[in-house]
Amino acid sequence: MKKKVEKFEKGFLTFFNDIKNELQQTTHHLYDDVANEAASAFETGKLQLPHKKMEDYKYSDLKKHLKSDFVFYTAPEKAKVYPKDLFVCDVPDLDAETVMLINGWFHDYDGKKLKTTDEGIVYGSLLYAYENGYKEIIDAYLNKHLNTGSPLVALNNMFAQDGFFVYVPDNVVAQTPIQLINLVSALEEVFVSPHSLIVAGKNSQAKFLLCEHSIFPKYFLNNSVMQIIALENSHIEYVRLQNAHNESYQFTSTYIHQTDNSSVKTNTITLHGGVVRNNIVASIDGKGCYNEMYGLFLVDKGQHVDNWTLIDHKQAESSSKELFKGIIDDYATGAFAGKILVRKDSQHTDAEQTNKNILLTSDAKMYTKPQLEIYADDVVCSHGATVGQMNEDELFYMRQRGISQKTARLMLLNAFAYDVIKDISVEPVKNAVINLVEKRLSGDLTRCDKCEIKC
Amino acid sequence: MAKKDDDILKKVTGSEYEFGFVSNIEEEIFPPGLNEDIIRKISEKKNEPKWMLDFRLKAYRKWKSMEMPQWAHLRIPEIDYQAISYFAAPKKPKYNSLDEVDPEILETFNKLGIPLEEQLVLAGVAVDAIVDSTSVKTTFKETLSNLGIIFCSISEAIQDHPDLVKKYLASVVPVGDNYFAALNSAVFSDGSFVYIPKGVRCPMELSSYFRINAANTGQFERTLIIADEGSYVSYLEGCTAPQRDENQLHAAVVEIIVHKDAEVKYSTVQNWYPGDKDGKGGIFNFVTKRGICEGENSKLTWAQVETGSAITWKYPSTILKGDNSISEFYSVAVTNNHQQADTGTKMIHIGKNTKSHIVSKGISAGYSENSYRGLVKVMKGAENARNYSQCDSLLMGDKCGAHTFPYIEVENKTAVVEHEATTSKVSEDQIFYCNQRGISTEDAVGLIVNGYAKEVIKQLPMEFAVEAQKLLQITLEGSVG
């Protein structure tokens, strides 16, 4: 069922009350408590839609973008979309297991809502999994290790639809990546709110690729939540590829929870997407953990990309490495906020954070806010941030050797971006990202020739 | 080893504040409370012209409509602004020679180790000594006035140089700039005024000694420094305060205007009473310091050593408006016991080819919280702006916190802005190395900390550098575990 929320900023609470019963029925009352709690927090003013007077949203006045009307699907609609046909251009040689959400609801293009890979990974619809044998796991982790006080999480919980569910059982070591596709495809201005959960059991290994796309050039709002739970000695790699059109609003919240000896590597690559805000929180609640958080964004025209990250070292003897890079063109704006929090008694933490940005024009803007908050003394923490331009000497060196200005610039920008991409371990994904970034930087990725998606 | 370190830690952190004493000078104190009548009374007491009263009232009305800022990484106990007395002055405010000065005041300065006479004769420093609110003595005035330099209390400047004061007062820090600046604008009692005329290089370091004295009186200093074209001045500010149990509020405003080709160096050693080792008492130091590099090729340097105060909220800032202007910020902030500091700088690049350099060294020990908070903003028109910031934190003990909150906002592609920060502790290797060479752990920590802070301390004028080094030693020696 399609429902319309008028003037989202003002009308979302009334709208919530209107569709509440219907939506909560469809979602098997999975989110009732958190949704009602969030709604009352918004009602009483305890929570507010993010605006620039809030420290965490200083550079992203999201409320301003929520003034228009949106359409919301309270239940899945029939669609004929086959991911393999659609996504040829993104990751051409990828041998992956694919699942898909369309407008926030699970799309069982092959008639299966929950599948198991040859290697033993269970993946599919969160709602279906909840009703079919995975209630315990979902109850144990869903909405547990995230900040329900974050306005974006609260908003997601109020309107939570379906989401991806991936369960990697203990000791399963998977080579084949799982590709998750979050697609927005509607002829109206749509608003989606998927809530996904990945649980990696003890001693397991798995790789994920999340692609976010849109088909029609209508503006839309995607406010998604992704929870990643990495249990003892599990190793997870997660690549998020954001490539929606420039009229979209994409607010994402990723919450990573790590226990002893786990490692999680995330890569957030933003190629396109009007107003993007990524909240990425890694809570390191175990010893001997390693967290790698990488991000790259390329913005042009009037786009705005804001990456807000928090690495929370809750226990001793873990390390983290964070690297975010941005290239800002035309009159676009980029923002980065990264906090490393080392709690009391988290001794021997080793945390490193780097943020580098290149401004290509005089109208481009970059705001960066690297932060350290440290309550333990025997730690090594550092952060560095730069905003600048391409190195004139390097350009000169290349031009001396007969490389044209344009090529030299492209080479330098590609090299700049490569730092972030080079650690993706799935070769086809890495090559695809390199290719996409190259195309994107040379300006060829406005219209894709191979697929229907107009990314 | 650990046991010994604990002993040293106890010895050092247990040492009482050296400068805690009260001088019994007769004072005239207004009843506690703040309202328009009190402000009128302050203004009347100081015999101020009407425009000054209007200025104060405007600030007061603005202040009433504002709320105390909550964004800093500080836990500030509720402050009852109506329980503070806003004016205290020694009864006999004028003296012609040193002999007439209240012997107790002279004794006070002697205890602080900076006797007026000695300073006059030996150091060649002109001292504008302030006890509480009214300027008691201004020295070296004549020598300076021969060069056309005006160095007096701001109350005098309001009487004698109203044009200059009118032109520049609140031109850098507007009355409504922030909560504490508005409060200061409404009730400021006294402070220093410096004017260096065109092309004059001030031959000596100008220094002003602030001191909070009477119980329950907030101290609201107002400093205004104007360096006209091609001039140079180095200004020193140092603070000590007597030991008190009640918290005392200090909300000062410092404004600096640097014209074309001029240079100002502003150094601070801040050692207000930090409270006892349980965090009781101590000064709340909420200061707004801001300078503007108004003309081309101007330069403003801030150097500060912050060891005192229970709570410090202070961000000396520079607006780099003139083309090719330069600003530097050097800071060492030390917190121990239950002290809290949230300090840093703002560099606003407006002019072309402007440069700024930030070096901040934080040292935290005991249960203290030490934060660096800074903003580097490059405006659209600031072609070729350059900034380099370095913020290092040193942690001593596992109960304290060290934080870094830098903000970088760049709106011009030719700008190059870099920020680096590290957090670490005094390493066992370093101590071991020193021990091996017969240096005790206590001395080794002193050495390491002083070496760590050296980059900043060497920016201070000689006498201050010595005092600063002593202060670091007193606060921290041996605090490593």
The per-residue pLDDT for A286 is: 94
The per-residue pLDDT for B270 is: 81
Q: Which residue carries 């992203």 as its tokens?
A: A60
The whole-angstrom separation of Cα A69 and Cα A5 is 6
A140 CA: distance to closest CA in chain B (Å): 34
Contact criterion met (CB < 8 Å) for A384 and B414 = no
Q: Name the closest residue on chain B to residue A330, using Cα atoms.
A: B413
The per-residue pLDDT for B118 is: 44
Find, among B138, B146, B230, B231, the residue nearest to B193 by Cα. Answer: B138
The answer to the question of residue B335 being in a domain is yes
SS3 for chain A, per residue?
CEEEECCHHHHHHHHHHHHHHHHHHHCCCCCHHHHHHHHHHHHCCCCCCCCCCCHHHCCCCHHHHHCCCEEEECCCCCCCCCHHHHCCCCCCCCCCEEEEEECCEECCCCCCCEEECCCCCEEEEHHHHHHCCCHHHHHHHCCCCCCCCCHHHHHHHHCCCCCEEEEECCCCECCCCEEEEEEECCCCCEEECCEEEEEECCCCEEEEEEEEEECCCCCCEEEEEEEEEECCCCEEEEEEEEECCCCCEEEEEEEEEECCCCEEEEEEEEEECCEEEEEEEEEECCCCCEEEEEEEEEECCCCEEEEEEEEEECCCCCEEEEEEEEEECCCCEEEEEEEEEECCCCCCCEEEEEEEEEECCCCCEEEEEEEEEECCCCCEEEEEEEEECCCHHHHHHHHHCCCCHHHHHHHHHHHHHHHHHCCCCCHHHHHHHHHHHHHHHHCCCCCCCCCCCCC
The per-residue pLDDT for A84 is: 64
Among B404, B445, B476, the strongest candidate for a mutation testing the A interface, having the largest count of A CBs within 10 A, is B404
Please state the rounded mean pLDDT for residues A137-147: 93
A171 or A94: which carries more pLDDT confidence? A171
Angle ∠(B249,B252,B255) on CA atoms, nearest 5: 170
Question: What tens digit of pLDDT does each residue of A300-319 get?
Answer: 888 999 999 999 999 999 99
Count how many pairs of residues, chain A against chain B, have C-beta atoms within 8 Å: 119
The whole-angstrom separation of Cα B435 and Cα B55 is 60
Q: What type of residue sits at position B431?
A: I
Look up residue B387 and give its DSSP letter.
E
Find, among A272, A164, A139, A267, the residue nearest to A225 by Cα. Answer: A164
For residue A384, give the nearest of B378, B413, B419 by CB distance. Answer: B419
Would you write out chain B's pLDDT as a tens digit for each of its 481 residues?
445 545 544 544 445 555 555 666 556 677 788 888 889 988 888 888 999 999 999 999 999 999 888 888 888 888 888 888 787 665 444 454 555 555 655 555 555 555 454 444 333 344 555 444 444 445 566 778 889 998 888 888 999 999 999 999 999 999 889 999 999 999 888 788 999 999 999 888 887 654 444 444 457 888 999 999 999 999 988 755 454 545 678 889 999 999 999 999 999 888 777 877 787 778 888 999 999 999 999 999 999 988 888 899 999 999 999 999 999 999 999 888 889 999 999 999 999 999 999 999 999 888 899 999 999 999 999 999 999 999 999 888 888 889 999 999 999 989 999 998 888 888 888 889 999 999 988 888 888 888 888 888 888 877 677 767 766 766 665 454 4
The residues, any chain, with a CB within 8 Å of residue A435's CB and separated by 6 or more, are: none
φ, ψ at A156 (rounded to 5°):
-65, -45
Buried b (16+ CB within 10 A) or exposed e, A350-386: bbbbbbbbbbbeebbbbbbbbbbbbbbbbbebbbbbb
Please state the rounded mean pLDDT for residues A84-88: 60
The answer to the question of residue B457 being in a domain is no
The whole-angstrom separation of Cα B258 and Cα B260 is 7
Q: Name the closest residue on chain A to residue B373, using Cα atoms.
A: A371
Question: What tens digit of pLDDT does each residue of A216-244 get?
Answer: 778 899 999 999 999 999 999 999 998 88
Q: Name the closest residue on chain B to residue A369, using Cα atoms.
A: B407
Pairing of strands B232-240, B263-271: parallel
Q: What type of residue sits at position B51?
A: W
Angle ∠(A359,A363,A368) on CA atoms, nearest 5: 50
The answer to the question of residue B178 being in a domain is yes
Find, among B354, B128, B123, B118, the residue nearest to B225 by Cα. Answer: B128
* Beta-bridge partners for A72: A3
The answer to whether residues A71 and A3 touch, using CB atoms and an 8 Å cutoff, is yes
For residue B423, give the nearest of A370, A381, A389 by CB distance. Answer: A381
The whole-angstrom separation of Cα B192 and Cα B268 is 14
Angstrom CA distances, A377 to B46, B202, B392, B393, B479, stand at 51, 45, 13, 10, 12
Please state the rounded mean pLDDT for residues A356-371: 92
B374 has a chain A CB within 8 A of its CB: no
A330 has a chain B CB within 8 A of its CB: no
Following CA atoms B160, B166, B172, B174 in sequence, which dihedral angle do they give, to the nearest 10 degrees? 120
Joined together, the tokens standing for residue A34 give 């958190």
The whole-angstrom separation of Cα A377 and Cα A125 is 45
Contact criterion met (CB < 8 Å) for B398 and A344 = yes
A75 has a chain B CB within 8 A of its CB: no
**Residues of A with Cβ-Cβ distance to B424 under 8 angstroms:** 379-381
Q: What type of residue sits at position A453?
A: I
A391 has a chain B CB within 8 A of its CB: no
B403 has a chain A CB within 8 A of its CB: yes
Pairing of strands A380-388, A350-359: parallel
* Beta-bridge partners for B420: A384, B390
Reply yes or no on whether the pLDDT at A430 is more than 50: yes
Boundaries of domain holding B368: 2-426
For residue A374, give the nearest of B397, B401, B418 by CB distance. Answer: B401
Contact criterion met (CB < 8 Å) for B408 and A366 = yes
The per-residue pLDDT for B89 is: 61
A85 or A427: which carries more pLDDT confidence? A427
H-helix or E-strand spanning residue B50 = helix B50-64
Please state the rounded mean pLDDT for residues A187-214: 92
**Residues of B with Cβ-Cβ distance to A370 under 8 angstroms:** 404, 406, 419, 421
The per-residue pLDDT for B173 is: 93
B8 CA: distance to closest CA in chain A (Å): 18
Q: Name the closest residue on chain A to residue B383, using Cα atoms.
A: A362
The per-residue pLDDT for B473 is: 67
**Residues of B with Cβ-Cβ distance to A359 under 8 angstroms:** 410, 412-413, 415
The answer to whether residues A21 and A88 touch, using CB atoms and an 8 Å cutoff, is no
The whole-angstrom separation of Cα B319 and Cα B322 is 9
The answer to the question of residue B356 being in a domain is yes
Residue A315: CB atoms within 10 A of its CB come to: 20
The answer to whether residues B229 and B259 touch, using CB atoms and an 8 Å cutoff, is yes
The residues, any chain, with a CB within 8 Å of residue B59's CB and separated by 6 or more, are: B175, B176, B182, B183, B184, B185, B186
φ, ψ at B157 (rounded to 5°):
-60, -35
Angle ∠(B378,B380,B382) on CA atoms, nearest 5: 60
Q: Domain residues of chain A, as ranges?
A: 77-442
Please state the rounded mean pLDDT for residues A384-407: 91
Joined together, the tokens standing for residue B411 give 């709106």
The whole-angstrom separation of Cα A298 and Cα A276 is 11
Residue B368's SS3 state is coil
Residue B145's SS3 state is helix
B420 has a chain A CB within 8 A of its CB: yes
pTM of the model: 0.84
B195 or A390: which carries more pLDDT confidence? B195
Find, among A24, A21, A10, A28, the residue nearest to A70 by Cα. Answer: A10
**Residues of B with Cβ-Cβ distance to A366 under 8 angstroms:** 408-410
The answer to whether residues B449 and B478 touch, using CB atoms and an 8 Å cutoff, is no
The per-residue pLDDT for B99 is: 58
The whole-angstrom separation of Cα A142 and Cα A30 is 9
The per-residue pLDDT for A91 is: 62
B412 has a chain A CB within 8 A of its CB: yes
The per-residue pLDDT for B246 is: 57
Angstrom CA distances, B75 to A349, B79, B328, B339, B450, stand at 26, 12, 29, 10, 29
Tally of domains in chain B: 1
The answer to the question of residue B121 being in a domain is yes
The whole-angstrom separation of Cα B151 and Cα B153 is 7
Contact criterion met (CB < 8 Å) for A370 and B413 = no
**Residues of A with Cβ-Cβ distance to B401 under 8 angstroms:** 373-375
For residue B395, give the nearest of A360, A377, A385 by CB distance. Answer: A377
Joined together, the tokens standing for residue B304 give 């500060």
B238 or A34: which carries more pLDDT confidence? A34
For residue A378, give the nearest of B402, B404, B425 by CB distance. Answer: B425
A386 has a chain B CB within 8 A of its CB: yes
Q: Which residue carries 């009229």 as its tokens?
A: A247
Joined together, the tokens standing for residue B220 give 């609201």
Joined together, the tokens standing for residue A70 give 């949106």
